[in-house]
A and B are shown apart, each in its own frame.
Chain A
Amino acid sequence: MNIRLYVLQRITALIMAPLTLGHIAVMIYAVQDGLSASEILGRTQGSIIWFLFYGTFVVAVSIHAAIGVRVIVSETFKFVGFTLDAFAWFVLLAMLFMGGRAVLAVTLL
């Protein structure tokens, strides 16, 4: 754990606090009377706002989760050095890819 990772972890947490609350509210609203693909797209397609909201969320989650999981595997499984860094980068990139793909698909593509 170094100062850069520590600060990134705290900052992404602060960014995600309001985004999480917003997301929960959106979910509660969206699942009223069932949920379908066309319903989702009808609300999100072409929307810059949704792209920015969930895009920011995806970036913040990917960083926060990668750092968080890095600490867990280093303390629980004693990963060190290259293995540890490679694992953390993998988590970061995988989440950026999957989350980014989902956000782009329902908004701008």
Chain B
Amino acid sequence: MSTKQEDIDVSVWRGDPHSGNYENFKVPAQESQTILDVISWIQQNQDATLSYRFACRVGMCGSCAMMVNGIPRWTCRTHLNKVLNGNKLVVAPLRNLPVIKDLVTDMDPFFDKWIAAEGLHHPSKTRLDPIEEIEPKSIGRVEIDTGIECINCSICYAACDTVTNNSDYLGPAALQRAWTVYNDVKDADKQTVLDAVSGDGGCLNCHSQGSCSVHCPNDLNPMNAIAGLKRATVASLFSRKG
């Protein structure tokens, strides 16, 4: 019989849109477990009323994102032994989003801003035209590739201090998506994209602190994309002036 490993002290935020507090649980330590394992164990064995989100549990969907010891992470891809603080773990809902219950946040503001940043394709051809050939190594396509793998997990949005301090700010994910549309030669309306990202809540608010790029689990670089949008905005200002 192996010696009993110490229990872990887990502090989980519980509450609703109006109020909440941290509740403590003791979770048996396992050889190898993720934060999602820990949260699931609590819900299955200690408190069935704990609400949390997950889906694929293999790091593909981004649904399980939460604040783990103050850092936004995918809980299914975060090993407990990598983040344990002494024997303590603190899990809270993603920052910068309204809370629905416990660890579940309302993703509506995130998606509303995604749309507001005009990250949508504006068609330039019909189905009767020949397919546009895009050279994979072209500058525009390489730029798009650096940002296209976004799965909308909202970790960058949670990490961004400017999102916290400026409720109008569209946020790194939405702006990065707009940048990928802007670089698409097939897109027919780049000016609308530029207008959307250079307004009050737009790319110009970014301080280039870089938390988004540091914490993106897909290794994307929204900070760079936003810098590109800033360049495009300034260039358009001077070219419009003549």
A and B touch in the complex (CB under 8 A): yes
Seen from chain A, the residues whose Cβ lies within 8 Å of a Cβ on chain B are 1-3, 6-7, 74-76
Count A-B pairs with CB separation below 8 Å: 22
Seen from chain B, the residues whose Cβ lies within 8 Å of a Cβ on chain A are 162, 165-166, 198-200, 202, 204-205, 230, 233-234, 237
Q: Are B233 and A3 in contact (CB-based, < 8 A)?
A: yes
Q: Are B200 and A2 in contact (CB-based, < 8 A)?
A: yes
Q: Are A7 and B237 in contact (CB-based, < 8 A)?
A: yes
Q: Are A3 and B166 in contact (CB-based, < 8 A)?
A: no
CB-CB < 8 A to A75: which residues of B? 162, 165-166
Q: Are A1 and B205 in contact (CB-based, < 8 A)?
A: yes
CB-CB < 8 A to B230: which residues of A? 6
Give, as a whole number of angstroms, the nearest-CB distance from B85 to chain A.
Answer: 29
CB-CB < 8 A to B199: which residues of A? 2
CA gap between A7 and B204 in the complex, in Å: 10
Give, as a whole number of angstroms, the nearest-CB distance from A26 to chain B.
Answer: 31
Give, as a whole number of angstroms, the nearest-CB distance from B35 to chain A.
Answer: 31
Q: Are A7 and B234 in contact (CB-based, < 8 A)?
A: yes
CA gap between A6 and B230 in the complex, in Å: 10
CA gap between A1 and B197 in the complex, in Å: 12
Give, as a whole number of angstroms, the nearest-CB distance from B161 to chain A.
Answer: 9
Q: Is the interface of B mostly helix, strand, loop or mixed?
A: helix
Q: Are A6 and B166 in contact (CB-based, < 8 A)?
A: no
Q: Are B165 and A76 in contact (CB-based, < 8 A)?
A: yes
Q: Are B198 and A3 in contact (CB-based, < 8 A)?
A: yes
Q: Are B204 and A3 in contact (CB-based, < 8 A)?
A: yes
Contact partner of B237 (CB less than 8 A), chosen from A1, A3, A74, is A3
CA gap between A99 and B121 in the complex, in Å: 51
CA gap between A6 and B198 in the complex, in Å: 11
Q: Are A6 and B165 in contact (CB-based, < 8 A)?
A: no
Give, as a whole number of angstroms, the nearest-CB distance from B203 to chain A.
Answer: 9
Give, as a whole number of angstroms, the nearest-CB distance from A82 to chain B.
Answer: 16
Q: Are A6 and B162 in contact (CB-based, < 8 A)?
A: no
Give, as a whole number of angstroms, the nearest-CB distance from A64 to chain B.
Answer: 15
CA gap between A7 and B166 in the complex, in Å: 20
CA gap between A78 and B181 in the complex, in Å: 32
CA gap between A7 and B162 in the complex, in Å: 19
CB-defined A-B contacts under 8 Å, sample of 14: A1-B200, A1-B202, A1-B204, A2-B199, A2-B200, A3-B198, A3-B204, A3-B234, A3-B237, A6-B204, A6-B230, A7-B234, A75-B166, A76-B165
- Whose C-beta in chain A lies nearest to the C-beta of B238? A7
- Whose C-beta in chain A lies nearest to the C-beta of B233? A3
Contact partner of A2 (CB less than 8 A), chosen from B162, B165, B204, is B204
Give, as a whole number of angstroms, the nearest-CB distance from B235 to chain A.
Answer: 11
CA gap between A34 and B234 in the complex, in Å: 47
Give, as a whole number of angstroms, the nearest-CB distance from B107 to chain A.
Answer: 24
CA gap between A76 and B200 in the complex, in Å: 17
Q: Which 4 A-B pairs have the closest CB atoms?
A: A75-B165, A1-B204, A6-B204, A1-B205
Q: Are B204 and A74 in contact (CB-based, < 8 A)?
A: no
CB-CB < 8 A to A2: which residues of B? 199-200, 204
